[in-house]
Structure 1
Amino acid sequence: MKTLFLVLIGGILISCGSTQSIEVTEAQRKALDEIVTQKKYEIISDWASPLTTTSVNAVANSGLLPPGSTVNNISLIGNGNHFRMDGDSVDVYLPYFGERRLSARYSTDAGIKLKGAYDNYKVEYNEKKQLYLIKFNVDDIQESYRIIIRLYANLKSDISVNSN
């Protein structure tokens, strides 16, 4: 019994080991550096990960989510979306999955649409994770959005959008 316990504990400790550092080629690093420096790129998302709320659960339970989707990971494949950075402006259309609270305006838009200038632009490079962290704000007619983008050397990305 004591041997079984030690084997289980040993297995858990081995499986909890730290991850290996990410290996990035010099070409990948230079390509990523140039993309970030030029501020000219486009991101097409395959997945959305909304906050799980009662409303999102109700939609999931009704069977309205795309095939292969779950309440916290919704497939965007075949669903038009884009995030374009072009110098000092952005053009964004991201589908919105969630519930709006305390909204003062009514709109037929089913997503987040932004077009124009941004402010508070900050770029950080994380050497350990080999990624750029880009943060900025974009104001709409009545909302302000805080956007955080993680750009990886393999040209994968992650976009987080927070609004007021």
Structure 2
Amino acid sequence: MKYIALVVFLIVTLTSCKSRINSADAAQQRKVLDQIAVKVKQDDFQIVMNTAYPLTTNAVNSVLNGILIPNGDSANRIDLSDRDDYIELGMDAVKAELSYYGERRISSGYGNQDNGIEYNGAPVNYRQNIDYEKGKLRIEYQISNQAESFDVTIEIFSNRNANVNISSSHRANIRYTGNMEQIKELAL
């Protein structure tokens, strides 16, 4: 009898822990996600990165921990708040300038001083869909620069926080987190 009571107690406890969003909050979240989806298509928004999470191997761990520990970073988490790393969003054109930490698997040739991830142009296989249940807008595309190609997946949440995953043809994968902001015009 004790076991039955314990099982019933566990089932009730575990099923009652799920947080529910009320219908007013769900409607507001839908509205915000729809607005974000429209703004992404307008080509004047960007994601400003604040943290990088490289895929680390033992070799990368050894090198990055030796360099980054004095700054308070680690090989698994690097603060980018003092840098200008971003991805400009749009259906017709995307642009990125991102710091890269990780393992380069294929060299991009002699004389190439580009150590970060940079691209600018029209994305290929651009897909954008809203998952209202999970409260996020998901954007996927491929793009290439002169040296390599990238598969990019961006998830933007209703609070405008974003996760960015980049797979490269020449480098180990890396993930970034950031915030969606309107691109600021420079004063002349």
In the TM superposition, 1:98-137 aligns within 5 A as 98-106=102-110, 107-137=112-142
Runs of 5+ unmatched residues, structure 2: 170-188
How many angstroms apart in 1 are the aligned matches of 2:126 and 2:90?
Answer: 13
Inter-partner Cα distance in structure 2 for 1:87 and 1:36: 8
Q: CA deviation at 1:30?
A: 4.0
Whole-Å separation in 2 of the counterparts to 1:104 and 1:63: 24
2:49 aligned with 1:45: yes
Cα 1:81–1:104 shift into 2, 3 Å: closer
Deviation of the 1:31 alpha carbon: 2.4
Q: Name the SS for the 1:103 alignment partner.
A: coil
Deviation larger for 75-84 or 30-39: 30-39
Structure-1-length-normalised TM-score = 0.80
Count of matched residue positions in the alignment of Structure 1 and Structure 2: 157
Matched, 1:144 2:149: yes
Partner of 2:101: 97
RMSD between superposed Cα atoms in Å: 2.9
Q: Find the residue that maps to 1:105 and give its secondary structure.
A: coil
Q: 1:62 aligns with which of 47, 66, 77?
A: 66
TM-score by length of 2: 0.71
- Partner Cα separation in structure 2 for residue 67 and residue 127 of structure 1: 39
Cα displacement (A) at 1:37: 3.8
1:85 aligns with 2:89: yes
Residue 19 of structure 1 and its aligned partner are, at CA, apart by 5.0
**Greater share of helix:** 2
Show CA shifts across 1:61-120 (max 9, x none).
314357342221110010121111245111100100001112242422220010111110
Residue in structure 2 matched with residue 157 of structure 1 by the alignment: 162
Contact kept, 8 Å, 1:55 with 1:98, in 2: the verdict is no
Give the drift of 1:20: 4.4
CA change 1:100–1:29 in 2 (3 A) is closer
In the aligned structure 2, how far is the partner of 1:129 from the partner of 1:135? 17
Cα distance in structure 2, aligned partners of 1:145 and 1:88: 16
Question: Which region of structure 1 is more displaced relative to structure 2, 44-53 or 79-88?
Answer: 79-88
Query: Structure 1 residues 127 and 30, CA, compared in 2 at 3 Å: closer, same or farther?
Result: closer
Rounded to whole Å, the distance in 2 between the matches of 1:28 and 1:66 is 40
Closer, same or farther: CA 89–66 of 1 in aligned 2, 3 Å: farther
Percent identity for Structure 1 against Structure 2: 29
